[in-house]
Structure 1
């Protein structure tokens, strides 16, 4: 058996480092993928999640041509209403192909699926005048909506996303409750 050369040690060490780096990268990707599936949603409508990144892409596409930009909250509201509204228009001509053609005329060359769903919902929202309000409200109440707290909460009474204050933020109405110590004056305690 011959002597171990420094170059051989370096190659072995490099192979081990690469293997460790590859294993670490694979574990990181696996774990981050699992986390994204749970926390990356903007809204879940009847169990179908729309990710924050898909919502952001749709908002960017919409706002690239819209005279009145949409907020994530208004987009989530429309997307959440979509399944209920669509049930009132079973023979709707709003196919993906028709909407894609309209968006391409507005220079949105590759509209996302979320953008198509949002546009369809907005058109349906504008066409609800002939629907009995009680029937519409009942259909909207049937939709199961879960909004990521980052965007607000779902209010079934108004069928809309409303801003909410997280539980960990406590408002004391501007009154001094005595819970905080007064600020120390400069030079005090010297």
Structure 2
């Protein structure tokens, strides 16, 4: 009986270790093709770019980071590149024109700025329809894991979709009590 308990305990410990190995590290917001985005990274990008974005929510910024990763891959496929230096100049110019103090820009902010600049250059390519199809395929192929706290990755749109727990009921959709 005692040996059986030991085997069960060891088995449970192995399962727990395997499951823990698959889970993202604490404080991880998302992993995009093996690149980790932490809470601190997301906070910094949100703070830096917030004054320039229409939607500076953390979910929107996380979506921009995912889509920017896909955009940079698209640029590589089409031999179009925007340097981090050019992206930093772009962000510093935006900050100056907005009356915001320019800082040293984080990697995430530079990635989003590079994508913004890259988008203009990719739009100049002769076959925009094929480029759009390539972008959609890259989004679909990205390996994205998102903390449930932020939602779920939709590979069809490249967006992080907020999840609504099943225990939250929309009062307008609730059936009246009898």
TM-score, structure 2 as length reference: 0.66
Please give the alpha-carbon distance, in whole angstroms, between the structure 1 residues aligned to 2:117 and 2:151.
24
CA distance in 2 between counterparts of 1:45 and 1:122 reads 19
Contact in 2 for aligned 1:59/1:72 (Cα 8 Å): yes
Alpha-carbon deviation of 1:170? Answer: 5.0
Partner of 1:54: 41
Deviates more, 1:41-50 or 1:71-80: 71-80
1:39 counterpart residue number: 26
Distance across 2 between alignment mates of 1:157 and 1:128: 20
Contact 1:76 1:161 in 2 (8 A): yes
Q: Distance in 1 between matches of 2:34 and 2:102?
A: 29
Consecutive unaligned residues of structure 1, counting only runs of 5 or more, are 1-36, 179-190
Verify: 1:134 aligned to 2:133, yes or no.
Answer: yes
Structure 2 Cα separation of the partners of residues 39 and 177 of structure 1: 42
Instruction: Report how far residue 93 of structure 1 moved.
Output: 4.3
Q: CA deviation at 1:125?
A: 4.6
Mapped contact 1:78–1:122 kept (Cα < 8 A) = no
1:99 aligns with 2:97: no
Q: Distance in 2 between matches of 1:38 and 1:94?
A: 31
TM-score (structure 1 length as normaliser): 0.62
* Distance (whole Å) between structure 2 residues aligned to residue 103 and residue 121 of structure 1: 12
Q: Is 2:56 aligned against 1:70?
A: yes
The structure whose residues are more often helix, as a share, is: 2
Q: 2:46 and 2:150 mapped to 1: Cα distance? A: 14
Alignment partner of 2:113: what SS?
A: helix
CA contact (8 A) 2:80 2:122 kept: no
Q: Point out 4+ residue stretches in structure 1 off by more than 4 angstroms.
A: 125-129
Aligned-partner Cα distance in 2 for 1:59–1:111:
11
After TM superposition, list the pairs within 5 Å mapping 1:109-188 onto structure 2.
109-125=103-119, 129=123, 130-132=128-130, 133-166=132-165, 169=167, 171=169, 173-175=173-175
**Shift of residue 40, structure 1, vs aligned partner:** 0.8
Q: CA RMSD in A?
A: 2.6
Bigger-Rg structure (1/2): 1
